Structure 1
Amino acid sequence: MPIRTNRGRAAVYRKLWGWPLRSPRHLAVAAFVVALLLTGAGIVIPKVVGKNGGQVAAGGSSTAATTTARPGQRPDAGPGGNNLPTSSLPNRLTSTPRPTSTVPPAPDALNTVRDWAQRWVDHPEGLSAQEWLERLRPFTTREYMAIMASIEPANIRSTRLTGDIRAITSFEKSVEVEVPTDGGGIRVIAIRTDDGWRVANYEQVEGR
């Protein structure tokens, strides 16, 4: 018959808890059963926990894989990746080739070179180097005058111009002009300064 009262249940519990204490044999049997239960729990529980943990880990990695952004996709894009690909900009700007001539040569620049060249080839015997330099000064930069001071006019073979001057390259603030002379051609560079166009350099043209 089922036990219907709390007093009856308590009596049954006292019998169960007191059974191992009735004799050493009962105590040994109870200890063996408890040890057997603990051993079984120690084997079963790790397997169950490990299996469930592996499933959770796998599920976590799968979720991470689906939320990882692909190239050209924003990190918040879904698995469909419907976002438009992002465009990649160049790492540096590409420079365009410098043109050989950007503007027509300024008339003042050509006039300055012509006047300078006419005085450069004009060095008659008896003209001192200082007098020759003073005639070039109004058409020459101050910096280049210091270099021109080392030139001995008697060593210049050219004595006259033999043709029209010709602009080779022309920019807003500089121009390179070829000047034909009886001692060979020269190339003269003039630059625009605060005082106007001035000759800043010249060199002999090889083979002319």
Structure 2
Amino acid sequence: MPIRSPRGRVAAYRALWQWPLRSPARLAVSGVAALAVVLGISTALTAINPPEPAPAGVTTTGTNATAPGSTRSTRAPGTPVPTALPPVSELAPTSLPVSSAPAAALQAAASWSAAWIRPPDGTPADRWIEGLRPFTTEEYLGVLATVDPGAVPATVVTGPARAVRVAASSVDVEVPTDALTLLVLVVRTEAGDWRVSGYDRAA
């Protein structure tokens, strides 16, 4: 039969909450039941709103997150950040005074030019090449092998060899002839001697 009066409802509520206090066994049963209700509500809320997963590749530890590829400074606090580059030593000059030209380089240019001038008519080309070989790099001999010695315009050297540009391992040398002034490039080989590796008409 339902309880209709306020006094009757108050008495029923009092009896309900006093029930666990009447014995230790009832109190323990009530505590277990209350804990089960709380856990059930928590599980239901988690199933309804699951936590979002962390992005792939991100590791979380406490409140810190580290993304892949990120770097963390290991500089100790208070360490000054360098703002100036270290001094750079001066580079060696690419050109040297012409007075420093090695005598062996000038001699190689003069000897090559004397062998380069047009030989007497009927001289075989291979003999002309053999005359140039002692003063020419092996690579440049292949180029000279395509030259017709009968087409060389000069017939005699008319003056001394003169350096016009000097570097650590090469010298540009001018050699005058009766037809033109040669600009001869002399280089130092791995063996340490000086040989011609090219020539042109001087400006």
TM-score (norm 1): 0.54
Answer 1 or 2: higher relative contact order, Cα 8 Å, separation at least 6: 2
| Aligned match for 1:88, one of 83, 107, 110 | 83
The aligned residue for residue 128 of structure 2 is 132
Paired with 2:131 and 2:109, the residues of 1 have a C-alpha distance of 13
| Aligned match for 2:201, one of 193, 200, 204 | 204
Alignment deviations for residues 119-170 of structure 1 (CA, whole Å, 9 cap, x no partner)? 1114222222122111111111111111100001111111122222211222
SS in structure 1 of the partner of residue 185 of structure 2: strand
| Aligned match for 1:173, one of 169, 175, 178 | 169
TM-score (norm 2): 0.55
SS in structure 2 of the partner of residue 23 of structure 1: helix
The 1:150–1:195 alpha-carbon spacing in structure 2 relative to 1, beyond 3 Å, is farther
- 1:120 matches 2:116: yes
Q: CA shift at 1:115, angstroms? A: 0.7
Q: For residues 42-121 of structure 1, what are the structure 2 equivalents within 5 Å?
A: 76-77=77-78, 86-90=81-85, 96=91, 98-101=93-96, 104-121=100-117
* Structure 2 letter corresponding to 1:143: E
> Which consecutive residues of structure 1, in runs of 5 or more, have no partner in the other structure?
1-20, 29-73, 78-82
Alignment deviations for residues 29-52 of structure 1 (CA, whole Å, 9 cap, x no partner)? xxxxxxxxxxxxxxxxxxxxxxxx
The 1:173–1:100 alpha-carbon spacing in structure 2 relative to 1, beyond 3 Å, is closer
The 1:192–1:122 alpha-carbon spacing in structure 2 relative to 1, beyond 3 Å, is same
The aligned residue for residue 56 of structure 1 is none
SS in structure 1 of the partner of residue 141 of structure 2: helix
> Are the equivalent residues in 2 in contact too, given 1:102–1:172 (CA < 8 A)?
no
Q: For residues 181-200 of structure 1, what are the structure 2 equivalents within 5 Å?
A: 181-193=177-189, 194=191, 196-200=193-197
Q: CA shift at 1:22, angstroms? A: 3.8
* Structure 1 letter corresponding to 2:95: T
Alignment deviations for residues 4-63 of structure 1 (CA, whole Å, 9 cap, x no partner)? xxxxxxxxxxxxxxxxx84347889xxxxxxxxxxxxxxxxxxxxxxxxxxxxxxxxxxx
> Are the equivalent residues in 1 in contact too, given 2:163–2:174 (CA < 8 A)?
yes
* Structure 2 letter corresponding to 1:202: Y
Higher relative helix content: 1
Q: CA shift at 1:94, angstroms? A: 9.6
Q: CA shift at 1:98, angstroms? A: 4.2
The 1:126–1:105 alpha-carbon spacing in structure 2 relative to 1, beyond 3 Å, is same
Give aligned-pair identity as a percent: 32
> Are the equivalent residues in 1 in contact too, given 2:157–2:176 (CA < 8 A)?
yes
